[in-house]
């Protein structure tokens, strides 16, 4: 694998919408002084999309524009990237990939509270049942950097946060040197 010169690690937090990516990423960023990049917000703010998808009610991300926008920050290191997909990011960007997972019933409640209905709601629940994001992460990154973490409760969140803080503290650049 290509060497990199990062002095701080890059972490990807992925998972089905509602599994707690943004909550976890912002808490982790606050605790570690890493930079939280909420991809959906960045895409909106900087117009890194090809318009609005009427069927799925979301922006169609322009993946090339997004990756160009992120490249320098990722090279520098110290980023927590929060996104519900991961197959189009360069593999070399990430040192650790976290896939958050939530019990279907709990996820259903969270998404209903967020006013998801109809096919948008059922598509996301199916996405979670079939572990789509975990499979995507395993196909896109080396298996030894991908971890699944349960995110059903506040206790889970606290435990995950502690584990990730420890991982960041223990990380050192270019371990093969």
List contacts with Mn ion (CB under 5 A). 21-22
Residue 7 CB, nearest approach to ligand ADP (Å): 28
| β-bridge mates for residue 81, sequence order | 12, 37
**Pairwise CA distance, residues 48 & 113, whole Å:** 28
* DSSP-derived 3-state class of residue 9: coil
137 binds ligand ADP (CB under 6 A): no
- Does the protein bind ligand ADP through residue 19 (CB under 6 A)? yes
- Return the residue of 10, 11, 12, 15 that touches ligand ADP, per CB under 6 A: 15
Asked whether the beta carbons of 107 and 124 are under 8 A apart, the reply is yes
Cα angle 24-127-54, degrees, rounded to a multiple of 5: 95
Q: How many CB atoms lie within 10 A of CB 3?
A: 10
Tokens matching residue 32? 């570690």
Q: Round to whole Å and give the CA distance between 87 and 89.
A: 6
In the shown chain, the binding pattern of residues 95 to 134 toward ligand ADP, with x for contact by CB under 6 A and - for none, equals: ---------------x------------------------
Binding window for ligand ADP (CB under 6 A); candidates: 57-65, 115-123, 134-142, 152-160: 152-160
Alpha helices (H) in 33-82, listed in sequence order: 39-45, 63-76
Least distance CB 123 / Mn ion (angstroms): 16
Which stretch in 58-66, 70-78, 89-97, 148-156 sits in contact with ligand ADP by CB under 6 A? Answer: 148-156
- Which residue is closest to ligand ADP by CB? 20
19 binds, among Mn ion, ligand ADP, none (CB under 5 to 8 A by kind): ligand ADP
């Amino acid at each position: 694998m290509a060497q990199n010169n990062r002095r701080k690690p890059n972490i990807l937090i992925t998972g089905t919408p509602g599994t707690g990516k943004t909550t976890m990423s912002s808490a982790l960023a606050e605790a570690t002084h890493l930079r939280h990049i909420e991809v959906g917000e960045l895409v909106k703010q900087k117009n890194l999309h090809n318009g609005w998808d009427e069927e799925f009610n979301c922006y169609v991300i322009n993946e090339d524009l997004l990756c160009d926008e992120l490249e320098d920050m990722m090279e520098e290191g110290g980023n927590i990237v929060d996104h519900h997909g991961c197959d189009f990011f360069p593999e070399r960007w990430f040192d650790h990939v976290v896939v958050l997972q939530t019990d279907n019933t709990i996820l259903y409640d969270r998404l209903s509270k967020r006013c998801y209905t109809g096919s948008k709601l059922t598509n996301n629940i199916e996405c979670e049942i079939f572990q789509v994001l975990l499979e995507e992460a395993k196909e896109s990154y080396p298996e030894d950097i991908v971890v699944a973490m349960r995110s059903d409760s506040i206790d889970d969140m606290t435990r995950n946060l502690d584990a990730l803080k420890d991982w960041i503290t223990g990380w050192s650049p270019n371990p093969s040197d």
